[in-house]
Amino acid sequence: MSSLPVNAYLLLALVLFCIGLFGALTKKNTVIVLISIELMLNAVNINLVAFSKYGINPGITGQIFSLFTITVAAAEAAVGLAILIALYRNRSTVQIDEMNTMKH
């Protein structure tokens, strides 16, 4: 395992973060956008866990931090989906480009 340098993990996290950001900014379906945000948050987890093993001062804190991140991300996704359901009941759509009733 230790044959892989820390850079490889960081690069993977960075790529995952960018894919997530791209998806969050371009996708039309709100569910996909929420999933993309989860991708970005998981990139953070990879970073934290990689640093907690191969970082400058390795330690368990990074893994604890990633547990907190996972929990909070789950709460955020739950609230996001709940709001999406409320919106769907009123508007019968989940397309982001149709949520445009508030233009000045």
Partner 1 sequence: MDMDTLLSYEWSIMAPEFTILLVATALSLIDLFVSKNVDRKLFGWFGIAGIAIALIFSFSQIGHEPAMILANTYRLDAFSLSFKILLLTGSLLVLLMGVSFEARGELTYRGEFYYLLLTGLLGAMMMASSADLITLFVGLELLTISSYILAGTRKKSRYSNEAAMKYVINGGISTAFTLFGMSYIYGLTGSTNLADISREISNITPANVQVLLSIAFILTFVGLAFKISTVPFQMWAPDVYQGAPTPVTAFLSVVSKTAGFIIIIRVLISIFPFTQGFEENTSLLHSLMIFLSVLAGMTMIVGNTIALKQRNIKRLFAYSSIAHAGYLLVPFVAFSELMFESMWFYLVAYLLMNIGAFAIIQVMTEHSDSEDVSIFAGLYYRRPWIAIMMTVFLLSLAGIPGTAGFIGKLNIFIGALFSDPSRYILAVVMIGTTVISYFYYFGIMAQMFMRPAGSAAQVRLPVGVTITMVFCAAGTITLGLFPGLVLEFFQTQFNFAEMFY
Among 19, 24, 32, 70, binds partner 1 (CB under 8 A): 24
Dihedral over Cα of 29, 31, 34, 35: its sign? negative
Q: Quick check: 83 binds partner 1 (CB under 8 A)?
A: yes
The long-range contacts involving 37-42, CB below 8 angstroms and separated by at least 24 positions, are: 37/76, 37/77, 37/80, 38/73, 38/77, 40/16, 41/69, 41/73, 42/16, 42/73
Q: Which of residues 37-56 bind partner 1 (CB under 8 A)?
A: 37, 40-41, 43-44, 47-48, 50-51, 55-56
C-beta of residue 37 within 8 angstroms of C-beta of residue 21: no
3-state secondary structure of 71: helix
Q: Quick check: 101 binds partner 1 (CB under 8 A)?
A: yes
Among 19, 32, 34, 70, binds partner 1 (CB under 8 A): 34
List of residues contacting partner 1 (CB under 8 A): 13, 17, 20-21, 24-25, 30, 33-34, 37, 40-41, 43-44, 47-48, 50-51, 55-59, 61-62, 64-65, 68-69, 72, 75-76, 79-80, 83-84, 86-87, 90-91, 96, 99, 101-102, 104
